[in-house]
Structure 1
Amino acid sequence: MLALMTVFGQAQEITGKVVGVHDGDTITLLTAEKEQVKVRLEGIDAPELKQAFGNASKQSLS
């Protein structure tokens, strides 16, 4: 279960299966309603894919 922050700063709980890893701090969840939700993990500052160590960061999250 994850708590997501909306644009207005309110947390929303969501459950689902991780179906994708974009980089070291961003994943995609598939909810029970078959909706894909892109989630950026709070408190994680990982390199983007085009930055140094970006691919290694993605592999670590996978």
Structure 2
Amino acid sequence: MTVEQVVAVPPAGLVIGIGAVSLPNALSTVTQLAPAVGFLAAVLVLAQLCADEDLFRAAGR
């Protein structure tokens, strides 16, 4: 698990567990947000690959 998952999943489970949000509503929201989350994940992967290759440092020169 990533740090983000460790921080985000337990509170989400708690909110569903106490009944503040129903499981069907939570799943519906996740389904609606999936394209945006996928895009953001791809951008983060691309940024990490650029950082690994020192592209940002080279661009700064």
How does the TM-score come out when normalised to structure 2?
A: 0.21
- Could you say which structure has the greater relative contact order, defined with CA pairs below 8 angstroms and 6 or more residues apart? 1
Larger radius of gyration: 2
Q: When you count helix as a share of all residues, which structure comes out higher?
A: 2
Q: When you count strand as a share of all residues, which structure comes out higher?
A: 1
How does the TM-score come out when normalised to structure 1?
A: 0.21
